[in-house]
Amino acid sequence: MIHVRTAQGSWLLPPYRAGYMPAGTAHQIRVSGALSGWSLLLQPSICRRLPETPRVLGISEVLRALVQRAASWSPFHALSQEQTRIVAVILDELRLAPHESLHLPIPSDARVERIARAILHEPTIERSIDQWAELGALSARNLRRLIQAETGLSFARWRQQAILIHALERLASGEAVNSVADAMGYASPSNFIAMFKRAFGQSPARYFQSHSQPPVNELNRE
């Protein structure tokens, strides 16, 4: 599990996904669990048709195979014609790859940002929306209005996403589902698993199960 933070928000990169980081984007990376995969560095001049913001991408079998092939190339030699054609297909696969909703936007309003950072620091702490609003010297009504306007998410949904990110990091570190469910404040592991399935379409066990091929963990453009 890789957690990427930028000034605009947080992106969660689970196993068997690819992360795309545009050129010039200042970011911090935190890794949970063992890291396996590749980093692909792309010259900005060939990335004009790729996204301008960070993304979490699904990995096709074609993309996986091509990146694995590119990882064997020598960095000390110019690309051959055959290699150049492979690069073109990699760019097409990145451009067409499905985007996954693993982004937690950070509000730009300083008052709401203060609250958002506090939640990210302690996502499981129990506070009412009025208590959270007090941290930013806001009313609960203004907090709801501002976070919806700036992130497109309700306050409850934004906080749930923050808790989900925290839960995924703990699961990726090998913590038991029962323990994570209890830490997240769920009445039972089954309730937590049901929430996880709604968010990701799979149980935690299936989500983190081993695959026959290693993942591409990060695609980074410099």
Is the pLDDT reported for residue 187 higher than 90? no
The answer to whether the CB of 17 falls within 8 A of the CB of 56 is yes
- Taking the CA atoms of residue 112, residue 28, residue 39 and residue 21 in that order, the dihedral angle to the nearest 10 degrees is 40
Of residues 172 and 195, the one with the higher pLDDT is: 195
CATH of domain 108-207: 1.10.10.60
- What is the value of pTM for the model shown? 0.63
Q: What is the pLDDT of residues 54-63, one digit of tens each?
A: 888 888 889 9
The answer to whether the CB of 37 falls within 8 A of the CB of 213 is no
Is the pLDDT reported for residue 203 higher than 50? yes
Give the model's pLDDT for residue 13: 80
Q: HSE-up of 129 (CA within 13 Å, CB side)? A: 15
The answer to whether the CB of 57 falls within 8 A of the CB of 19 is yes
Domain extents for the chain?
Answer: 2-102, 108-207
Structure tokens at 65: 């195979």
Spatial separation of the C-alpha atoms in residues 201 and 198, rounded to whole Å? 6
